[in-house]
Chains A and B, each alone.
Chain A
Amino acid sequence: MKKRPSIYGLMAEFEDLPSLLAATHRAHHTGYRHMDAYTPFPNEELSELLEGHHNILPKLVFAGGVIGLLAGVGLQWATNAVDYPINVGGRPLISWPAWIPVGFEMTVLLAAFATVLGMLGLNGLPMPYHPVFNVPRFALSSQDRFFLCIEADDPLFDRQETRRFLEAQQPHEISEVEH
């Protein structure tokens, strides 16, 4: 088993978004991959740089929608056409146009659950404890500061080397992130 690094990583705090973007670009260019940026609002460029375009969330949502539709239509068929057939004025038992509303609502319901649970699951939330919270100033990441954390399990990570790299990006402060 690989030895667990003694710290989680090194974190640099920036005062504005352009500095964080520039530092993240340079870190990526240098070859760091195990890193994450923390910001008080979404930024597309950062996400693309760190995560790329791939995202399976839409596929999960589509699957949720299809399951919802099949469940909704299946429910109506099984109950109103098979288990408890209701003859209304001789209309066909499989009167599918009347099934559209419930089929649609079930599609939306399950797709919405897939969206929310999928987003939380893929993000690994809820996660009450995370090492980055050990940095006292990290509380500002949800307010008006911007953080870049290079993680110790990155192959290129070296406590001194990485610290020097981060210092060159002129951050407001650099902290070691305890586990």
Chain B
Amino acid sequence: MTPDASIDEQGQALPASLIGPGHTFGTITEKISSIVLSRRTPTWWFLTFGVAFLFMNLMLLTIVNLVFRGIGLWGPNVPVGWGFDIINFVWWIGIGHAGTLISAILLLLKQTWRQSINRFAEAMTLFAVACAGLYPLLHTGRPWLDYWLFPYPNTMAMWPNFRSPLIWDVFAISTYATVSLLFWYVGLIPDLATLRDRSTNPVGRVVYGLLSMGWRGSARHWHRYEMASLLLAALSTPLVVSVHSIVSLDFAVSVIPGWHATVFPPYFVAGAVFAGFAMVLTLAIPLRRLYGLQDFITDRHLDNMARVMLATGLVVGYGYMVEAFMAWYSGSLFEAYMMLNRFAGPYAASYWALILCNVLAIQALWFKRVRQSPALLMVVAMFVNVGMWLERYVIIVVSLSRDFLPSSWGLYAGTKWDWGMYLGTLGFFLTLFLLFIRYLPMISIFEMRTMLPESKVETEEAHA
């Protein structure tokens, strides 16, 4: 229990600082749904959307050019066969993991502070996975043949090789995207019913009505609904751990120095949650200010997220130490050289920038003053966003550029189209996210109602 929680007559802790004072079921409903149902779209929304949409078109331009002219438009080539495509794939997938952590693991752990951040964190997951998926699909070079990835009876009489981590990836990512979508949609149903009932716009009423499937808040329905939420959470928890473990196996199953390490799965999962919470903060801090949601996404929420970020960041820092230790302890010449190459090779600047971002910058989160200041937290989150990108850059590029044979060493740098695709997916992500906050409730309304003490009543008959 936290010291700032107040105590009611029965000695139960009330989640006082998780919601602003003076709220009723009505005001919560009004506050969150009016953001969606209001006819006026804020000016900043149009401005941000314009920029995001512009960058999304840069992505489309890159894709069209790539499909016409071929994969050589991107930088990867022998010996560095994986570049921005896989770096960005892993970066985006990792970002998605915080959404599932918040929606599933924190639900199972009864962390009620998740209620106000789970909805947009889950949306972030979906959009991040959509961005991530684009990279390997395009990197095949012939995206119109991507259905070959799935096992289906075909005239070539061939099947995928299930001993390959790359086919595990296909199953893991597609399952992850599907289950995240299901979880998110199920969570939306009661809120869609609220929007259906409050909307004054006939189109809105029909669309929200269809999407809410005729939800009527029956106690019998709630019973199965709550059960389904818990079961989905219980299924998503091992799923999210498996997804980034499998992504890490893309590397760890190979024999490349710096990749072939048993620490990879847990180290990647921690890194994913770390990067994801940084992105949740990056989105939550401006959102709560622009929409005046400080009553729902309180300073305590920011504080809690900062703590999770610090904890997972320390695990990631431990991962860096283990990598260095194992490189030395393995006695392998190639492993040892890989590590020295990271410290002092051509990409040393990236490595030390990564240490600055992911290890040093987050130490500021030990101080309550930093955790309680949205501006400072935003700065730290930005460091982590950059740091986690650099981590993947260092892991992929440093190992591939100098492996076993010095005669086949070579350097790599992203081309302008690599950057176009990366900035483009940032625009794509932001476009989807802005549409989401305009048309769907970004905070779960019904779960916020359960934060009020009035929802926790029990009658004497219940104990009889």
**B356 surroundings in chain A (CB, below 8 A):** none
Q: Are B446 and A47 in contact (CB under 8 A)?
A: no
Q: Are B197 and A143 in contact (CB under 8 A)?
A: yes
Q: Does A102 contact B (CB under 8 A)?
A: yes
Give the complex CA separation of A40 and B2 in angstroms: 29
Q: Are B161 and A132 in contact (CB under 8 A)?
A: no
* Interface set, chain A 79-117, CB cutoff 8 A to B: 79-80, 83-84, 86, 88, 91, 95, 98-99, 101-102, 104-106, 108-109, 111-113, 115-116
**B239 surroundings in chain A (CB, below 8 A):** 105, 108
**A37 surroundings in chain B (CB, below 8 A):** 218-219
Interface residues on B, range: 35 or more
Q: Are A41 and B227 in contact (CB under 8 A)?
A: no
Q: Does B246 contact A (CB under 8 A)?
A: yes
Q: Does A120 contact B (CB under 8 A)?
A: yes
In the complex, what residue of chain A is closest to B191 when comparing beta carbons?
Answer: A142
Q: A123-B220, A139-B197, A142-B217 are in contact. Are A61 and B231 (CB under 8 A)?
A: yes
In the complex, what residue of chain A is closest to B172 when comparing beta carbons?
Answer: A105
Q: Are B182 and A143 in contact (CB under 8 A)?
A: no
Q: Give B200-238 as 1s and 0s: 1 = Cβ < 8 Å from A's Cβ atoms.
A: 000000000110011111111111111110011001101
In the complex, what residue of chain B is closest to A121 when comparing beta carbons?
Answer: B224
Give the complex CA separation of A58 and B178 in angstroms: 20
Q: A22-B459, A39-B219, A101-B246 are in contact. Are A112 and B235 (CB under 8 A)?
A: yes
* Interface set, chain A 25-80, CB cutoff 8 A to B: 25, 36-51, 55, 57-58, 61, 72, 75-76, 79-80
Q: Does B162 contact A (CB under 8 A)?
A: yes
Q: Does B190 contact A (CB under 8 A)?
A: yes
Q: Does B46 contact A (CB under 8 A)?
A: no
Q: Are B450 and A41 in contact (CB under 8 A)?
A: yes
Q: Give B175-187 as 1s and 0s: 1 = Cβ < 8 Å from A's Cβ atoms.
A: 1001100110110
Q: Give B279-299 as 1s and 0s: 1 = Cβ < 8 Å from A's Cβ atoms.
A: 000000000000000000000
In the complex, what residue of chain B is closest to A116 when comparing beta carbons?
Answer: B182
Q: Are B459 and A132 in contact (CB under 8 A)?
A: no
**B455 surroundings in chain A (CB, below 8 A):** 17, 41, 43
CB-contact partner of B186 in A42, A51, A72, A116, under 8 A: A116
Q: Does A2 contact B (CB under 8 A)?
A: no
**B214 surroundings in chain A (CB, below 8 A):** 125-130
**A128 surroundings in chain B (CB, below 8 A):** 209-210, 213-214
Give the complex CA separation of A29 and B365 in angstroms: 56
**A44 surroundings in chain B (CB, below 8 A):** 226
Q: Are A36 and B228 in contact (CB under 8 A)?
A: no
Give the complex CA separation of A95 and B157 in angstroms: 21
Give the complex CA separation of A54 and B71 in angstroms: 57
CB-contact partner of A76 in B162, B217, B220, under 8 A: B162
Q: B235 to nearest A CB, angstroms? A: 5
Q: B329 to nearest A CB, angstroms? A: 26
Q: Are A41 and B459 in contact (CB under 8 A)?
A: no
Q: Are A45 and B459 in contact (CB under 8 A)?
A: yes
Q: A17-B455, A57-B228, A106-B171 are in contact. Are A25 and B461 (CB under 8 A)?
A: yes
Q: Does B462 contact A (CB under 8 A)?
A: yes
CB-contact partner of B450 in A42, A80, A112, A139, under 8 A: A42
**A111 surroundings in chain B (CB, below 8 A):** 231, 235
Give the complex CA separation of A178 and B64 in angstroms: 57
Give the complex CA separation of A15 and B455 in angstroms: 12
**B227 surroundings in chain A (CB, below 8 A):** 55, 57-58, 119
Q: Are A102 and B167 in contact (CB under 8 A)?
A: yes
Give the complex CA separation of A57 and B159 in angstroms: 35
Q: A151 to nearest B CB, angstroms? A: 12
Q: Are B218 and A86 in contact (CB under 8 A)?
A: no
Give the complex CA separation of A105 and B177 in angstroms: 12
Q: Are A142 and B162 in contact (CB under 8 A)?
A: no
In the complex, what residue of chain B is closest to A16 when comparing beta carbons?
Answer: B454
In the complex, what residue of chain A is closest to B163 when comparing beta carbons?
Answer: A98
Give the complex CA separation of A79 and B167 in angstroms: 13
Pick the interface stretch among B24-32, B310-318, B412-420, B429-437.
B24-32
Q: Does B70 contact A (CB under 8 A)?
A: no
CB-contact partner of B219 in A22, A36, A105, A138, under 8 A: A36
Q: Does A156 contact B (CB under 8 A)?
A: no
Q: Are A42 and B226 in contact (CB under 8 A)?
A: yes
In the complex, what residue of chain B is closest to A95 when comparing beta carbons?
Answer: B163
Q: Are B217 and A39 in contact (CB under 8 A)?
A: yes
Give the complex CA separation of A117 and B216 in angstroms: 17
CB-contact partner of A51 in B151, B158, B216, B220, under 8 A: B220
**A48 surroundings in chain B (CB, below 8 A):** 223
**A140 surroundings in chain B (CB, below 8 A):** 197
Give the complex CA separation of A84 and B193 in angstroms: 50
Q: Are A46 and B219 in contact (CB under 8 A)?
A: yes
Q: A112-B179, A144-B29 are in contact. Are A47 and B219 (CB under 8 A)?
A: yes
**A155 surroundings in chain B (CB, below 8 A):** none
Q: Does A7 contact B (CB under 8 A)?
A: no
Interface residues of B (CB under 8 A from A): 24-26, 29, 151, 157-163, 165, 167-168, 171-172, 175, 178-179, 182-183, 185-186, 190, 193-194, 196-198, 209-210, 213-228, 231-232, 235-236, 238-239, 242, 246, 249, 446-447, 449-450, 454-455, 457-459, 461-462
In the complex, 16 of the A-B residue pairs with CB atoms within 8 angstroms, ordered by the A residue number, are: A21-B461, A22-B459, A38-B216, A39-B217, A41-B447, A41-B450, A47-B223, A51-B220, A72-B171, A106-B175, A112-B178, A116-B185, A116-B186, A123-B224, A130-B214, A132-B216
Knowing that A39-B219, A115-B228 touch, tell me 13 more A-B residue pairs with CB under 8 angstroms. A39-B222, A108-B238, A108-B239, A109-B179, A112-B232, A115-B232, A119-B225, A132-B216, A141-B197, A142-B194, A142-B197, A142-B216, A144-B29
List the 9 closest pairs (A to B, CB-CB), nearest first: A126-B213, A47-B223, A79-B159, A144-B25, A119-B228, A139-B197, A42-B222, A101-B168, A127-B214
